[in-house]
Structure 1
Amino acid sequence: MNGLANPLRGEAVVTLGKQSVTLAVTFGGLMRLSQAIGAKTMDEIYQRLLGFEPFAVSCAIRCLAVAESDEQRSDLSARILSEQNISAADQKSWRDGVEQALTAHIEKGQAVRESVSVSEEVEAAVTGKKHQTAS
């Protein structure tokens, strides 16, 4: 893992033990995580991740880790979750990284809803009607 993250894509680097992982919060990843841990709401996912619940953290690493392939994601997860690597001492690093990634994901979603597409700008220029943003 190169340790680089793009917060504009909902990513954050988290160091657990001696391993760093870039997590990317996406709706698809959240869907897989929700199903894996049996969570019914985003509030529950958020609470379980920030509470450093071991099973939720383990599943989140597998569902949200950035890797080139599913096989690489699986190998990375195995290294991070090794008994010789992760411990309760990693709670603060985990919480900080996950909070950063979740916040970036939410902000990205809000920005998309507030932005005006090129076609909307052209339409407004041609028709003289101003685009109305959703509130």
Structure 2
Amino acid sequence: MPLKVDHMTLLVSSLVKSMPYYDKLLNLIGFKKIRDYVWTDEDGFFIQFNQAKDGTSEYERYGAGMNHIGFCAPTPEFVTDVQKQMKEAGFLVPETQHRDGGVALFMKDPDGIRFEITYYPPGMAVVD
């Protein structure tokens, strides 16, 4: 049996700049804040945030390492609602992308780390 992914730790250049973004986004997609800088889906998965060390390199989208984090939305309307609420909260949010009945939203945090919220219609592959 494959092991279950149970947590992810994101290092950000500024907790002060990044946490308002994540507080809004993670609440919108159903995560619960259990203490400063730690969120859970209440199904055994945790996201933790820590301050990156001074002098370390910045995140690079196509550099070695993580490219983006994807979350599956229950409906197309869920995706557009997240987009709307993030915009209303003052964050820069791009337009949604539509393909073969799927609806995707790719947003960047203050460090450029990309988050994907996508509705996949039945039969659509999550990754190509």
TM-score range, shorter chain: under 0.3
Structure with the largest fraction of helix: 1
Bigger radius of gyration = 1
Considering Cα pairs closer than 8 Å and 6+ residues apart, tell me whether 1 or 2 has the greater RCO.
Answer: 1
Task: Give the TM-score normalised by the residue count of structure 2.
Answer: 0.24
Higher strand share: 2
